[in-house]
Chains A and B, each alone.
Chain A
Amino acid sequence: MEKKSFKEAYESINVPKEDVLKAIINGMNRATFNTPKPKKSFKIYVWSIGVAAAIFVASSFISPSISNVMAEVPILGKAYATFNDVIRRNLQSKSLITELNKTTSYKGIDVSITSAYYDGGVVGVTFKVKGDLRIQKDGRVVGFYEIFNGKEGISDSKELVYMEPTENDFIGQIQLSYPKTELPSNTTFPLEFKRIGDIEGSWRFDVPISQLPYETEKIDNQSIQGIAGVQVHFDSIITGKASTAINYTATFPNEGKHDQVRLEAYDDKGNEIAISNDGIDLETIKVNDKIIVKGRSIIPESLKGNTSYIEVHPKVALSQPNQFVSLYEPTPVEIKANRQNLSVKIENITVKDKSFTADFQVNKGDKRNRSFMFFKDFARNDVILVKESEKEIYKEPIKHSVETIDKDELRFRSTFDISELDDFNQSKYVLRVNIGSLSANIPVELEKVKINLD
Chain B
Amino acid sequence: MKEIKLIKKAIKGNKKCLEELLVLHSDQLYRTAFLYVRNCEDALDVVQEASYKAFLSINQLKNENLFLTWLTRILINCCYDLLKRNKRETPIENMIEQVSVMREKRVESLDLLEAVNQLNENYKTVIILFYFQDLPINKVAKVMNIPENTVKTYLSRGKERLKKLLGGMEYNGEKII
B89-143: which have CB < 8 Å to A?
Answer: 89-93, 95-97, 99-100, 103-104, 107-109, 111-113, 127, 131-134
**In-complex Cβ contact of B22 among A2, A16, A24, A37 (8 A):** A24
| Interface check A20, CB cutoff 8 A | yes
| Contact present for B44 and A16 (CB under 8 Å) | yes
| Contact present for A48 and B50 (CB under 8 Å) | no
Q: Which residues of B contact A354 (CB under 8 A)?
A: 172-173
| Contact present for A5 and B26 (CB under 8 Å) | no
Q: Which residues of A contact B177 (CB under 8 A)?
A: 2
Interface majority SS on A: helix, strand, loop or mixed? helix
| Contact present for B47 and A27 (CB under 8 Å) | yes
**In-complex Cβ contact of B90 among A8, A46, A401 (8 A):** A46
Q: What sequence of 0s and 1s flags, for each residue 42-58 of chain B, a beta carbon within 8 Å of any chain A beta carbon?
A: 00110111111111100
A43-64: which have CB < 8 Å to B?
Answer: 43-48, 51-52, 55-56, 59, 63-64
B12-56: which have CB < 8 Å to A?
Answer: 15, 18-19, 22-23, 26-27, 29-31, 34-35, 40-41, 44-45, 47-56
Interface centre among A1, A6, A25, A40 (most CB of B within 10 A): A6
In the assembled complex, the Cα of A41 lies from the Cα of B18 at a distance in Å of 29
| Interface check B87, CB cutoff 8 A | yes
Given contacts A5-B171, A376-B100, contact A20 B109 (CB under 8 A): no
Q: What sequence of 0s and 1s flags, for each residue 17-43 of chain A, a beta carbon within 8 Å of any chain B beta carbon?
A: 101111111111011100001001001
| Contact present for A20 and B107 (CB under 8 Å) | no
Given contacts A2-B177, A6-B132, A17-B26, contact A31 B91 (CB under 8 A): no
**In-complex Cβ contact of B27 among A15, A26, A376 (8 A):** A15
| Interface check B176, CB cutoff 8 A | yes
Q: Which residues of A contact B27 (CB under 8 A)?
A: 15, 17, 20
| Contact present for B92 and A2 (CB under 8 Å) | no
| Contact present for A55 and B90 (CB under 8 Å) | no
With both beta carbons as reference points, the residue of chain A lying nearest to B32 in the complex is identified as: A10
Q: What sequence of 0s and 1s flags, for each residue 275-316 of chain A, a beta carbon within 8 Å of any chain B beta carbon?
A: 000000000000000000000000000000000000000000
| Contact present for A31 and B55 (CB under 8 Å) | yes
| Contact present for B171 and A24 (CB under 8 Å) | no
Tell me how far the C-beta of B114 lies from the nearest C-beta in chain A, rounded to whole angstroms. Answer: 10
| Interface check A84, CB cutoff 8 A | no
Q: Which residues of B contact A400 (CB under 8 A)?
A: 108
Q: Which residues of B contact A94 (CB under 8 A)?
A: none
| Interface check A399, CB cutoff 8 A | yes
Tell me how far the C-beta of B161 lies from the nearest C-beta in chain A, rounded to whole angstroms. Answer: 15
In the assembled complex, the Cα of A1 lies from the Cα of B172 at a distance in Å of 12
A-B contact pairs, 16 of them (CB 8 A): A3-B134, A5-B112, A5-B174, A10-B31, A10-B35, A10-B133, A13-B113, A19-B40, A20-B30, A21-B23, A27-B52, A30-B52, A31-B56, A51-B92, A56-B99, A59-B96
- Sample of 14 further A-B pairs with CB below 8 A, known A27-B53, A31-B52, A31-B55: A1-B176, A6-B127, A15-B26, A19-B40, A20-B29, A23-B45, A24-B26, A46-B95, A51-B92, A55-B95, A354-B172, A399-B108, A399-B109, A419-B170
User: Which 8 A-B residue pairings sit nearest by Cβ, starting from the closest?
Assistant: A27-B51, A31-B55, A6-B131, A27-B52, A23-B48, A45-B89, A43-B91, A10-B132
